[in-house]
Structure 1
Amino acid sequence: MAGQSAPSLATRELALAQARTLARHGRYAEAEAILTDARRDAVPAVPLLDLLARVHAQQGRLDEADAAWAEAERLAPGGGEIAECRRRVARARARRTTRPAWPYAVALLAAALAAALVVVLLVPDRGEDDPSSPRAVPRPVRPSSSPDVLAEMDLGVPGAIVRRRPGELSVTFERGLFRDGVRFSRDGRAVLTALGERLRPYATRVSLTLIGHTDGRAVPPGRGYATNTELGTLRAAVVREFLHDGAGVPAGRVTVSSLGAAAALGGGGSPARNRTVDLRISAGGQA
Structure 2
Amino acid sequence: MTEQIALALATREVVLAQARTLARQGRYGEAEQILRDLEPDVLVLDLLARIHAQQGRLGQADQCWAAAERLAPDIREIAEGRRRVASMRGGARRRRGRLVYRAGATAGLALTFALLVDTRVELGRLPTAPYVQPSHAPAQTMRPTAADLAGMDLRLSGVRARRRSGEITVTFTEGLFRDGVTLSSGGRTVLDALGARLRPYATRISVAVIGHTDDLTAAVGGDYADNLELGTLRATVVREVLRSAAGIPTTRFSVSSLGDVMPPFRGHGTADRARNRTVSLRISAAGEG
In the superposition, the TM-score normalised over structure 1's length comes to: 0.53
Identity across matched positions, percent? 48
CA distance in structure 2 between the aligned counterparts of 1:12 and 1:268, rounded to whole angstroms: 33
Contact 2:149 2:167 in 1 (8 A): yes
CA apart distance, 1:272:
0.5
* 2:284 corresponding residue in structure 1: 282
Contact 2:171 2:264 in 1 (8 A): no
Contact 2:228 2:258 in 1 (8 A): yes
| 1:133-152 equivalences in 2 (<5 Å) | 139-140=135-136, 144-147=142-145, 148-152=147-151
CA apart distance, 1:266:
3.5
CA distance in structure 2 between the aligned counterparts of 1:144 and 1:227, rounded to whole angstroms: 41
| 1:9-88 equivalences in 2 (<5 Å) | 10-12=13-15, 34=35, 36-37=37-38
* 2:118 corresponding residue in structure 1: none
| 1:217-236 equivalences in 2 (<5 Å) | 217-236=216-235
* 1:271 corresponding residue in structure 2: 273
CA distance in structure 2 between the aligned counterparts of 1:165 and 1:37, rounded to whole angstroms: 34
CA apart distance, 1:197:
0.2
Secondary structure class of the residue paired with 2:274:
coil
* 1:213 corresponding residue in structure 2: 212
CA distance in structure 1 between the aligned counterparts of 2:187 and 2:218, rounded to whole angstroms: 22
Residues 123 and 175 of structure 1: CA distance in aligned 2, closer, same or farther (over 3 Å): same
CA distance in structure 1 between the aligned counterparts of 2:258 and 2:246, rounded to whole angstroms: 26
* 2:74 corresponding residue in structure 1: none
**Which amino acid in structure 2 is aligned with residue 285 of structure 1?**
G
Residues 194 and 123 of structure 1: CA distance in aligned 2, closer, same or farther (over 3 Å): farther
CA apart distance, 1:34:
4.2
* 1:191 corresponding residue in structure 2: 190
Name structure 2 gaps, 5 residues minimum: 1-6, 19-33, 40-127
Which is helix-richer, 1 or 2? 1
Contact 1:149 1:283 in 2 (8 A): no
* 1:159 corresponding residue in structure 2: 158
Secondary structure class of the residue paired with 1:243:
helix
1:67-122 Cα shifts (integer Å, max 9, x gaps): xxxxxxxxxxxxxxxxxxxxxxxxxxxxxxxxxxxxxxxxxxxxxxxxxxxxxx97
1:186-226 Cα shifts (integer Å, max 9, x gaps): 11011001000000000110111111111111112444320
**Which amino acid in structure 1 is aligned with residue 200 of structure 2?**
P
Residues 144 and 213 of structure 1: CA distance in aligned 2, closer, same or farther (over 3 Å): farther
After TM superposition, the structure 1 stretch with the greater mean CA deviation from structure 2, 261-270 or 186-195, is 261-270
Q: Number of residues paired by the alignment?
A: 173
Name structure 1 gaps, 5 residues minimum: 16-32, 39-120, 127-137
In the superposition, the TM-score normalised over structure 2's length comes to: 0.53
Secondary structure class of the residue paired with 2:234:
helix
CA apart distance, 1:146:
3.8
CA distance in structure 2 between the aligned counterparts of 1:251 and 1:170, rounded to whole angstroms: 19
* 1:177 corresponding residue in structure 2: 176
Secondary structure class of the residue paired with 2:163:
strand
**Which amino acid in structure 2 is aligned with residue 275 of structure 1?**
R
CA distance in structure 2 between the aligned counterparts of 1:210 and 1:37, rounded to whole angstroms: 21
What is the root-mean-square deviation in Å for CA atoms of aligned residues?
3.1
